[in-house]
């Protein structure tokens, strides 16, 4: 069960939100807006937000730009995780990921199953690490955003969560990268 150790400090992280859609705009992007609102309400910083078309090159380009940005710790995308011809978010992620976090997709689908039954099998939600940045790909529905954020990410991105959390691992995510000489 998720529990917080309130004797530990809360460490806000900088999170970028990408909506993958050919049809949404900032005004009509309810899932991206919902996610951004939840990020800020939890005490984190919304570092960037964009809407990218269902195109591997566009998604990959944005991911690479944000991974290289030292002001972004986490990227969360919504949309493009299904199985139709235009759903290419997992393929774009595969081009940048160094390590996959298999348990994220597994847990997401387990939690989603409790709400939408076997329809969750159509989700290719996934997560991983690249360049010391966490990446999470959620389906594009508001329900999926709520499931992914409220049931998983709000806890794992809270430095007070016990017994462990993603935030406490952040300083070690770049151990394999060459040291920069500034």
Q: Is residue 82 part of a domain?
A: yes
Q: Of the given ranges (24-28, 35-39, 74-78, 137-141), which has the lowest mean pLDDT? A: 24-28
Cα separation, 138 vs 102, whole angstroms? 14
Q: Is residue 176 part of a domain?
A: no
Q: Name the domain count of the chain.
A: 1
The range of the structural domain enclosing residue 125 comes to 11-167
pLDDT band of 176, cuts 50, 70, 90: confident
Residue-wise pLDDT for 123-157, tens only, equals 999 999 999 999 999 999 999 999 999 999 999 99
> What does the buried/exposed string (b/e) look like for 89-98 if buried means 16 or more CB atoms within 10 Å of the residue's CB?
bbebbeebbe
Say which residue, 182 or 127, is predicted with more confidence: 127
Q: Is residue 161 part of a domain?
A: yes
Residue 124 belongs to a domain with what CATH number? 3.40.980.10
Q: What is the mean pLDDT of residues 26-31?
A: 94
Q: Is residue 18 part of a domain?
A: yes
Q: Is residue 95 part of a domain?
A: yes
């Amino acid at each position: 069960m998720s529990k917080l150790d309130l004797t530990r400090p809360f460490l806000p992280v900088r999170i970028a939100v990408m909506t993958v859609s050919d049809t949404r705009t900032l005004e009509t992007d309810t899932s991206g807006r919902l996610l951004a609102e939840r990020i800020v309400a939890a005490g984190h910083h919304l570092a960037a937000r964009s809407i990218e078309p269902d195109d591997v090159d566009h998604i990959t380009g944005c991911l690479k730009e944000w991974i290289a940005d030292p002001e972004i710790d986490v990227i969360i995308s919504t949309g493009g995780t299904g199985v139709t011809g235009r759903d290419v978010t997992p393929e774009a992620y595969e081009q940048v990921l160094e390590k996959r976090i298999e348990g994220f997709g597994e847990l997401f689908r387990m939690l989603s199953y409790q709400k939408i039954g076997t329809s969750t099998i159509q989700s290719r939600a996934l997560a991983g690490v690249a360049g010391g940045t966490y990446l999470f790909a959620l389906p594009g529905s508001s329900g999926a955003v709520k499931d992914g954020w409220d049931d998983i990410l709000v806890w794992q991105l809270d430095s007070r969560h016990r017994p462990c959390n993603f935030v406490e691992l952040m300083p070690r995510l770049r151990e394999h990268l060459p040291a920069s000489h500034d």
